[in-house]
Structure 1
Amino acid sequence: MPIYAYRCTDCGHAQDVLQKMSDSPLTDCPACGKSTYAKQVTAAGFQLKGSGWYVTDFRNNGTKPASAAAASESSGSGSSASGTSTSTPAA
């Protein structure tokens, strides 16, 4: 169940409340009793625990796989080897 932060706009009372997502939001302040209690927008708080996945887990030290390197070399060399342009300038 998520924890929601509430604050009364009238008296300033603030409280974190553990609620189900399906529960309706609280509106009555427990301190002053007025219906000026509202949810606050807060940053999501979560922790990644365990070994998990890291950006370095799948690094290949800057080398391309053999099939990708061969494909990029064969497609790149054909266009740069011609060196001449086939288009004619507009007059």
Structure 2
Amino acid sequence: MPIYEYQCNACGHQMEALQKMSDAPLTDCPACEQAELQKLISAAGFRLKGGGWYETDFKTGSKKNLAGGSSSDSKAASSTSTASANA
């Protein structure tokens, strides 16, 4: 479920709410209890970072060697990612 940010137009209170995408937007401010909440637009807090992501992880067939490595390198990367996924 996504986390939405809200700000009250009356008192300036800011908050986050964990809601389903199908839920109606919140309207009542918990701080001043007025119906002045407005949903804010913000960037997603999602980043892929670290040594576990390889270009060849999700490729099939002849597309596996796009980075120019040898076929033994891509097999090692595939077995490493499979072992990590099973752990």
SS across alignment from 2:16: strand
Equivalent residue, structure 1, for 2:68:
60
- Give aligned pairs, total: 60
Quote the residue 2:47 is aligned against.
47
When Rg is computed on C-alpha atoms for both structures, the one with the higher figure is: 1
> Normalising by the residue count of structure 1, what TM-score does the alignment of the two structures yield?
0.56
Q: Which has the higher helix share?
A: 2
CA distance in 2, matches of 1:53, 1:38: 40
Q: Could you tell me which runs of 5 or more consecutive residues in structure 2 were left unpaired when the two chains were aligned.
A: 56-64, 70-87
Q: SS of the counterpart of 2:25?
A: coil
The amino acid of 2:4's aligned partner reads Y
Question: Runs of at least 4 residues of structure 1 off by over 6 A?
Answer: none
Normalised to the residue count of structure 2, the TM-score between the two structures is: 0.59
Within 2, Cα distance between the matches of 1:53 and 1:5?
33
Between the aligned residues of both structures, percent identity stands at: 53
The residue aligned with 1:4 is 4
Residue 60 of structure 1 aligns to a residue whose secondary structure is: coil
| Number of the residue aligned with 1:34 | 34
- Distance of 1:33 and 1:53 partners within structure 2: 50
